[in-house]
């Protein structure tokens, strides 16, 4: 079965610019996550979707970050405007349901200069 697909793999932007990341989860997975992994740290949950509804976005900096999953399948995460501290790997993951393992994509490495 195909894994979680993310694009782009790498992105370099200047601060105050905007950027968008795309994720296509494993077919049939209802739950989709976006994580931010800063170098040397564990992944931090930004937002969790169940189908096309938001379950948890408590750690999403809503003044600059937004995410959507309009048809309950693929998802986009946007940052506008970007700050230097947003430099990180952005991971997308999906799972079947409650207490089940999450499958991760390769991530998008964002560098803000």
Partner 1 sequence: GDSVTQMEGPVTLSEEAFLTINCTYTATGYPSLFWYVQYPGEGLQLLLKATKADDKGSNKGFEATYRKETTSFHLEKGSVQVSDSAVYFCALSYRNNDMRFGAGTRLTVKP
Per-residue burial over 46-85, b = 16 or more CB atoms within 10 Å of its CB, e = otherwise: bbbbeeeeeeebeebeeeebbbebeeebebebebeebeee
- The residues facing 37 across adjacent strands are 89
Alpha carbon distance 96, 99 (integer Å): 9
Burial tier of 27 (Cβ tally within 10 Å: 0-12, 13-18, 19+) = exposed
Q: Is 88 near partner 1 (CB under 8 A)? A: no
Among 21, 25, 107, 108, binds partner 1 (CB under 8 A): 107
Query: Cβ 16 to partner 1, closest distance in Å?
Result: 29
Q: Is 101 near partner 1 (CB under 8 A)? A: yes
Q: Is 1 near partner 1 (CB under 8 A)? A: no
Among 50, 52, 66, 76, binds partner 1 (CB under 8 A): 50
Among 19, 77, 88, 93, binds partner 1 (CB under 8 A): 93
- Positions in the binding site for partner 1 (CB under 8 A): 31, 33, 35, 40-45, 48, 50, 55-56, 91, 93, 95, 97-107
């Amino acid at each position: 079965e195909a894994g979680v697909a993310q694009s782009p793999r790498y992105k370099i932007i200047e601060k105050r610019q905007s950027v968008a990341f795309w994720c296509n989860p494993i077919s049939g997975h209802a739950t989709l996550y976006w994580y931010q992994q800063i170098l040397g740290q564990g992944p931090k949950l930004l937002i969790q979707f169940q189908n096309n509804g938001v379950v948890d976005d408590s750690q999403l900096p809503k003044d600059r970050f937004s995410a959507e999953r309009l048809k309950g399948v693929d998802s986009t995460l946007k940052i506008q405007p970007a700050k230097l501290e947003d430099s990180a790997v952005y991971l997308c993951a999906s799972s079947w349901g409650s207490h089940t393992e999450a499958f991760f994509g390769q991530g998008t490495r964002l560098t803000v200069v």
